[in-house]
Structure 1
Amino acid sequence: MRKYRSLIFLIIAGLLFVASSFYYLPYYVSKPGMAKELEPIIEVENGYDEEGNFMLTTIRMGKANIYAYAIAKMSKYQEIYPVEAVRSKNESDEEYNVRQLHMMDGSKTNAIEVAYKKANLPINYEFKGVYVLNIIEDMPADGMLKPGDRIIKIDGNRFNSMDKFIDYINGKKAGDKLSVTYERNEKSKTVSIEIAQFPQDKNKVGIGIGLVDDKEIVVEPEVHINTEEIGGPSAGLMFTLEIYNQLTKSDLTRGYQIAGTGTIASDGTVGRIGGIEQKVVAADKAGAEIFLAPNEKGAKDSNYKMAVKTAKDIDTKMKIVPIDNFDDAVQYLEKLKEKK
């Protein structure tokens, strides 16, 4: 009888454990991710090989259940963030993921532009349409369009910029209908959507979408970047270095394992990212010898200073290098002695 009761207790406890693991708190937990070699991810046609490696560093982030929250509380290099610090107000999980993937696309575009300019190679852009980032609840587009859709025509007209798209809609009035042609999962569809006033601004009309230009950079030789489901803009600097290294004969890696992080702007400026401590930990575990970190012009709480502190804390031999712009990174690497 006791064995039977014990078995029942264990079953109930197991069921409660499983059920509670699906109960999510209003927090996200981030932890060290991976440092991944970029050469298999980025391919410049007929590009040059390298002796060492540039590495992309990541963090792992997910919704916190009670167990993940408790573990993060006790872990030095896991961070807890309230939902509003990660997602925008009223942003759904789908919209958040789309925004992250779009930021990754923007990061890749900027990386290609900076690398090809540095290599004195021509660049062109092909406008593909307007990219839907989010949908405003209870506006006409709600339930008809989805984050990630690409709008390619309005009333049969194509536009070569987001601004012209907005100008066209601003010329309409509430109650007018638009014929919207969009692409989703490589299939196109046309729907009729009525224009309405925005609840928060009665002087403004639209269909209720947040949008951004969707353009593709055209370069020769072609470059292919396969990031799969990795999102966010923080790999920009390392993308740029890998692309530039394949474009030029001199190998910037000098045979070293080089990790790093930082956004990249179209003018080559390297920007701050989140989770720098966790990325330093990930790079160290992957055997990186050098870590490039955003310097933010020497700001008091810069990524670079936080990276130096973390490197000291984990007692790594990895060298932390401050970077303000792409030229800084190139100049530092060009001065490296070849690894024996």
Structure 2
Amino acid sequence: MTKLLTKKVRYLILLLVGLLLILFLPLPYYIELPGKAVPVSDYLTVTRPSPKKKAGELRLVYVSLYRASPATYLWSYTNRFASRIPAKEITGENNNSDYSKIQAYYMQDALNEAEYVALKAAHYQVKRKYQGIYVMSLLKNSTFKGKLQVGDVITAINGKTYQSSGEFVKAVQGLKYGSRVQVSYLRNQTPKVSWGRIVKLAGSNKTGLGISLADKSRIQTPVSFKTNVDDIGGPSAGLMFSLELYNQLTAKQLLRGRNVAGTGTINADGKVGPIGGVDKKVIASAKAKADIFFVPAQSEPGTISNYQLAKKTAKQIKTKMKIVPVASFSEAVTYLEEN
């Protein structure tokens, strides 16, 4: 009797372990689903001067992204708008912590560019202060591996400072292969110094530190903002951030009671760049009852454009929401003024 009971307990434990594996074992895939279209003013508000109150709403849109398990991977096939994306396409070689840092950088950069574009368009004083080089990743052969980390901001090379990543790259490439180099940097605002050597960069005849990088800067302006972007990441809200700031800072009646959603990156020239997950963002915007959905007009070579996919999705879900392609911030403003 005792042996029989022991066997049953073992089988029950094995069954429970199997169920847990099916439910929670992480697979090397992410599942992407429609997220939400939320008011941009929930994340970004002008505090000085007092923002102009107007009828209507501007909405940024995000997708829902989570790590797949065997159960959720199979379930995703029941949703025609679910995408199963290999983990490496999402995080690359980064761990979760580094991936989060990079997404936070993209979000802060999107805010900076949006502020710069909107403030210039609204005729406010604005300057860009260069802070240094943001470390995005370290190559396998970099001698700074284990010294520098993703998220560090390089401020000087051999004691010299530079005003752009282009100047930085040019200076480093002028150093001899194998030569010793001193890197000054900030980690969580704490100054640090590390030494390493110039290495060959894989896939090219060039030399360098063996890091991938991006410019780190901040905006200086008499205008004050309140931001709350800790729970979202990536650069795709750039266009909508710039429109929200412009709408709060000027007396123009852009919205006239309309519900306007949109997506797209923004650069300092006001150009709007393509993003991923646009089909999911169309669905989320339609659920939020948006009247207009701005989508990048620019497309990546060899891929279906954001506009084409947005139009296709809008047709599939039978929404009356107007899909509007824009190549720049000024095009979006002009459309709202004239329509």
1:154 matched to 2:176: no
1:13 aligned counterpart, secondary structure: helix
Cα deviations by residue, 1:5-36 (Å, 9 ceiling, x for unpaired): 76654443232222344433332211111212
1:49 matched to 2:19: no
Cα deviations by residue, 1:207-258 (Å, 9 ceiling, x for unpaired): 3211122111222323343321422221111111101101101232212222
Change (3 A) 1:322 1:174: closer
Indicate conservation of the 8 Å contact 1:197/1:203, yes or no.
no
The whole-number CA distance in structure 2 between the counterparts of 1:204 and 1:305 is 39
The whole-number CA distance in structure 1 between the counterparts of 2:200 and 2:272 is 37
Please tell me the root mean square deviation across aligned C-alpha atoms, in Å: 2.8
Change (3 A) 1:296 1:211: closer
Indicate conservation of the 8 Å contact 1:100/1:231, yes or no.
yes
Indicate conservation of the 8 Å contact 1:295/1:302, yes or no.
yes
1:125 aligned counterpart, secondary structure: strand
Change (3 A) 1:8 1:281: farther
User: Which of 57, 63, 75 is the aligned partner of 1:71?
Assistant: 75
Amino acid of the structure 2 residue aligned with 1:188 = P
The whole-number CA distance in structure 1 between the counterparts of 2:136 and 2:176 is 23
2:68 aligned counterpart, secondary structure: strand
> Aligned runs of 1:1-340 on 2, under 5 Å?
9-44=11-46, 45-46=48-49, 47-88=51-92, 90-191=93-194, 193-198=195-200, 200=202, 204-296=206-298, 301-336=304-339
The whole-number CA distance in structure 2 between the counterparts of 1:21 and 1:186 is 41
Amino acid of the structure 1 residue aligned with 2:82 = Q
The whole-number CA distance in structure 1 between the counterparts of 2:39 and 2:121 is 22
Change (3 A) 1:18 1:332: same
Aligned length: 333
Name stretches of at least 5 consecutive residues in structure 2 with no aligned partner.
none
Amino acid of the structure 2 residue aligned with 1:78 = A
Q: CA deviation at 1:333?
A: 1.7
Q: CA deviation at 1:166?
A: 2.8
The whole-number CA distance in structure 1 between the counterparts of 2:291 and 2:15 is 47
The whole-number CA distance in structure 1 between the counterparts of 2:226 and 2:257 is 23
Amino acid of the structure 1 residue aligned with 2:124 = L
Indicate conservation of the 8 Å contact 2:201/2:208, yes or no.
no
Amino acid of the structure 2 residue aligned with 1:311 = A
Amino acid of the structure 1 residue aligned with 2:109 = G
The whole-number CA distance in structure 1 between the counterparts of 2:166 and 2:103 is 22
Change (3 A) 1:331 1:98: same
Q: CA deviation at 1:206?
A: 3.1
The whole-number CA distance in structure 1 between the counterparts of 2:334 and 2:174 is 50
% identical equivalent positions: 35
**Given the two structures, how large is their TM-score scaled by the length of structure 1?**
0.86
